[in-house]
Structure 1
Amino acid sequence: MQTIAILYQAKLPPIKGGIQKPMKPGGYSDSGADIAYELEKNGIRIVTPISKPNIKTDLDWVFPDTKKGIQNALDKGANTFWLNTVLYKKHEIENYFNRDFKFIGQLPSQVDIYDDKYFTNELLRKNKIPIPKTKLISTENLTIYTLDIDFPIVAKPIRGRGSQGVSLIRNQKELDDKLNKIFSNNEYGNTVYVEQFLNGQEITVTVMPSGNYLIDNQEKIYKNPWCLPAVKRFNHKDGIAPYNGIVAVMKNSSVLENKELNSRKIIEVYRQCEKASELLNIKAPIRIDCRADENGNYFLFDLNMKPNMTGPSRPHRQNQDSLTLLASRKIGWNYIDLLKNMIKQSWKASC
């Protein structure tokens, strides 16, 4: 019988190439607890760190992604690990890939590569997927770089998380001030990713991996990655969608209307998102943020290998639909339907 343990991020990931990926407070234990509670109340077998977890205490429901935490889950009978954490090469969970366990989430080695926004976007560009103009600025080229992108621009961490640390920059002075601030506190490492600002509509597309799904009570097989309905973002702050830890996505996001969902430009951006997901060999949902130019043509500007999976499972978190859940509701899935379909895509590392 499948028995699931949900892992959360217990510590900062290692610095890679001088770049530090920031850590979400709580390490996704909030969404992990949402997942665990929703599964348990729907009769899906899970294990938790304590026998009677408190509904409001996130850490009662999830295990740290450490050797000790994983072993604790195993001792309690887990045979499936939900990787609701930040992954990277040589993550502790890789030590269990040679055993007969299942996993829900991405391959750590893949995340390690594609968490680098610049590397990923250059890969997409080389495969003729539309990406905004980009530039890397580091402490090494700070005094000699040539921007070659008209203002306004967007500055962001290379290994960022959502919109944390992302800023709209309107002129050279603002850019100089931003770079000095970032490099002086070293919060995001020694390199900043700069890209063209697109002033059109912003949407988020969740792409599901190939596999067998249950939609409208019917099994459907997708041989390739496929897109959930696009979600538009609004009420931006200084041109940037606010971090969902500050503003719940339900307050600034909604699924596009049917007419726009069926439009040529949205269908084309789906095609590009699916192509990108196939290149990345995804094993779980990813989230791709896209923005239109003045002509309404969409560009993929941020690919997130670890989309948030919060949900309204617990009474005190009824406003916690994630962007992926908002999209899922459009095809008739509620939170448990989304989670069950993610479980159906669980995989063994030996396969």
Structure 2
Amino acid sequence: MKNNKLKITEDLLIKTDSRIIDAIAKLNSNTLKIVLVIDDYGKLVGTLTDGDIRRAILKNIDLNTQVINICNREPKYLTEPSIEEAKKMMLKYRVSRIPVVNTEMKPIMLFTLEEFLRNDKEHDNIPVVIMAGGEGKRLRPLTSIIPKPLIPVNGKPMLETIIDEFYKSGFSFFVISVNYKKEFIKSYFAERGSLPYEITFIEEDKPLGTAGSLSLMRNLLDNTFIVSNCDILVNVDYSSVLKFHKIHENDITIIGAIQELRVPYGVIRLKNEAVEGIDEKPEYHFIVNTGIYVLEPKILHLIPENQYYDMTELISTALENKYKVSVYPTHSGWTDIGNWNELKKLL
């Protein structure tokens, strides 16, 4: 067990009248998945976590709502910086963050519990399927020379970067669907020699879309599995995603991300042909599909054999057949590295 005692910094604090969208920015910057909600006198009045944000999103609460309306207003805290008491409280209440306050109820430090009794190979039995067979048309002419999965991102092919991120989260079995310039991809990993994870390649004879090649994997996928595009990086806690998937008894869980759209003009509001008002340069927030999913193997029989079939079609078919499809919203960063503008930012 590793314990950290951290001093309180500004990126861990947020005022009661701040907006949810402001809290999301704080949560993304401090990496601890918590902010402490304080009043105008600096006193602790609540805590706000990733889970609170996610529940607010699922309830369709406006992200401009004040954080006091969604935070935990009965936070667990200590009045003395005792490591042993912090451990006991974490185990008793099943929390991983315990703030310490002074006599004026102002937060002065934060205890964190990391890697508690965690198995490094926590998700060994969960296969990760990566769709790497596309031509990468958005990245032409670069992909006319090398396949998109091997385009380097900070000195490492994007496919290997994605695998490494999953491996760090405890996954060690990868199924990679290949087609376009597949020998380049297979040769690259063959030349890497011994790897700490297992890779199985599934070869498409023809392009099968973002879900079609799953029909070739029915003998491999007999348990809950993850599907990811080969050009997506998402900063998400996969343990939480899988727990969410199981608790809600989903057949498909879509990992969604908050996308902000700013309209650079005044938007006119009409009512019965009359102008009701003008919203100057408004901001709108949407949950978008990141291209990463958790699926149950029973979904596989919905996919036509060896035909072009996209994941959006599979989701529509699943809904038509009354399978349970849900979304796990994340406010953490995500990047579409198959897009020129995003790729240039990373480079």
TM-score between the two structures when normalised by the length of structure 1:
0.26
Q: Which has the higher strand share?
A: 2
For the pair shown, the structure with the greater C-alpha radius of gyration is: 2
TM-score between the two structures when normalised by the length of structure 2:
0.26
